[in-house]
Amino acid sequence: MARFYPNLAKLDTPLIASIYGESIEEFRTLARELSALPKISALEVNLYISWRHYRELGAGGYRDWAGSVVAAVREEAAVPVWVKLSPDAGDPAEIARTVEAEGAAALTVSNSY
């Protein structure tokens, strides 16, 4: 981010930072640090690439993990939180309801959908 942010911050357009972490603590750290940057308008929590968690946790465990990630990011973020969902990790509608309940302001449902 240090390499690209100074030039991106000069643009007259909102910046959305997409974040991914291997742990909830990594998501927290990224949310806190990136949402503190003045030009960041929202954070996108990238759950699209977290299918490994789905395989390890199963449907219910993944749903709960996704909700915990969004809740943690929401606690740290000073900007709206968007969530990018995967069609390959359980029922997208169920995951959407869970992350919405934890504070997601918007959903990204692109790529393989």
Question: In the 3-class helix/strand/coil scheme, how is 41-63 assigned residue by residue?
Answer: EEEEEECCCCHHHHHHHHHHHHH
Of residues 75, 16, 76, the one with CA closest to residue 46: 16
Which two three-digit tokens encode residue 5? 């942010």
15 vs 38: CA distance, rounded Å: 10
Q: Does residue 2 lie within any of the structural domains?
A: no
Query: Containing domain of residue 67, as a range?
Result: 38-109
What pLDDT is recorded for position 86? 80
Residue partners of 12: CB distance under 8 A and separation at least 6: none
99 within domain boundaries: yes
Classify residue 51: in a domain, yes or no.
yes
Q: What is the predicted pLDDT for the residue at 110?
A: 75
Number of domains in the chain: 1
> What does each of the 113 residues of the chain score in pLDDT, given as a tens digit?
778 888 988 999 999 999 999 899 999 999 999 999 999 999 999 987 665 665 676 666 778 889 999 999 999 999 999 999 887 777 889 999 999 999 999 999 876 55
pLDDT at position 20 is 92
